[in-house]
Amino acid sequence: MYFLAGNPNLAKAVLGQPGDHKDKKTELKVTQRLRLDQHKFEELDG
Model pTM? 0.25
pLDDT in tens, the chain (46 residues): 455 556 667 666 666 656 566 677 777 777 676 666 666 666 766 6
Return d(Cα 31, Cα 24) in angstroms, integer: 10
Quote the pLDDT of residue 25.
76
Quote the pLDDT of residue 26.
75
Quote the pLDDT of residue 1.
47
Reading phi first (left if > 0) and then psi (alpha if -120 to 50, else beta), residue 45 is in alpha
CA distances from 3 to 12, 14, 17, 19, 42 (A): 13, 12, 16, 19, 34
Quote the pLDDT of residue 7.
66
